Amino acid sequence: MDKIEVVFVTGMSGAGKTQAMATFENMEYQCMDNYPVALLKEFGDLLRTSNKYTKIAMAVPLRDAIFAIRVMSNLDWVDLTVVFLDADDKVLLSRYKQTRRTHPLMISNRASTLLEAISIEREIADPISKLANIVVDTTLLKPTRLQDKLEIYFHKGNQDTFRISFVSFGYKHGIPKDADLLLDVRFLPNPFYIEELRNKTGNDKEVYDYVMGQPETKEFIQKTTQYYDYLLKKYEEEGKMQMVIGIGCTGGQHRSVTLTNYFADYYSKFYQVYRWHRDANH
């Protein structure tokens, strides 16, 4: 029999599990929230004998995640993917204050303040994040961008294809937590110091041509492409299904956007490629 696709959605409280589950529902997954983990084994047995379920997404609290992963991972007829949602502590704090929700650890009296609750939960989350197949940093993501990311990962037409996401970012805004590899291009000449280029980005031809025309850029691309040609092939052979490559400059406007566009265009000839400019103005 074909394996049943099961997705566990877990992560830090306030990182976007509700939006993620809504996305899975839109992708026609059968969604379950707060399912009793003590009944997971029985539910797994039901999956084996029923043809009603083919794609399931379950929101799993951190406190139950390790047990739930252990149970489902031991079922030969289940293809389990664990999605871990994360965000910076300051952003989680801000989201709770804006929505005026109460943190689960405060409801259960395990923490007396929101800051304490986030700190305790961060310790609980650390080993679970290491078990996850996919880690999504929602710190700077709007709900529509979270939806886009999940659709990229779980689009059925691409399930057997090695997928690469190139993400431009600015180091001054923080490193993307979900990046598998980081590429620092801050050593390249900066268009920010050229007045007519300052308010443009690497999506504009003038900036792109300036960055790509530098001797340092040409040498860097030649050496980096050779490295990526080898590395990406090895990851694909090892069975990895997705890779997130972050390319960073100071502000995430010029050099990182240019190089992200270049590598996304180049590797789209060989792989399923996506690009995202996290910090660019346009």
What is the tens place of the pLDDT at every residue in 55-102? 999 999 999 999 999 999 999 999 999 999 999 999 999 999 888 888
Mean pLDDT of 110-116: 91
What is the rounded distance in angstroms from the CA atom of residue 54 to the CA atom of residue 56? 7
Rg of the Cα trace of the chain? 21
What pLDDT is attached to residue 162?
A: 81
Q: What percent of the chain clears pLDDT 90, i.e. is strictly above it? A: 65
Whether 61 and 10 have beta carbons less than 8 Å apart is answered as: yes
Flag the least confident range among 102-116, 178-192, 213-227: 102-116
What pLDDT is attached to residue 93?
A: 92
**Amino acid in the structure at residue 108:** S
Q: Which of 167, 150, 182, 169 is nearest to 274 (CA)?
A: 167
pLDDT tier at 225 (50, 70, 90 boundaries)? very high
What pLDDT is attached to residue 160?
A: 57
Quote the mean pLDDT of the chain: 90
CA angle 259, 260, 263 (to 5 degrees): 80
Mean pLDDT of 248-275: 94
Place of tokens 């265009």: 265
What pLDDT is attached to residue 158?
A: 46
What is the rounded distance in angstroms from the CA atom of residue 222 to the CA atom of residue 245? 17
Interhelix angle 114-131/62-73, nearest 10 degrees: 10
Whether the pLDDT of residue 159 is over 60: the answer is no
CB atoms within 10 A of CB 37: 19
pLDDT tier at 9 (50, 70, 90 boundaries)? very high
**Amino acid in the structure at residue 197:** L
Residue 274 or 157, more confident: 274
Is residue 254 helix, strand or coil?
coil
Determine the straight-line distance between the first and last CA of the chain, rounded to whole angstroms.
Answer: 47
Mean pLDDT of 174-186: 91
Mean pLDDT of 256-273: 94
CB atoms within 10 A of CB 53: 14
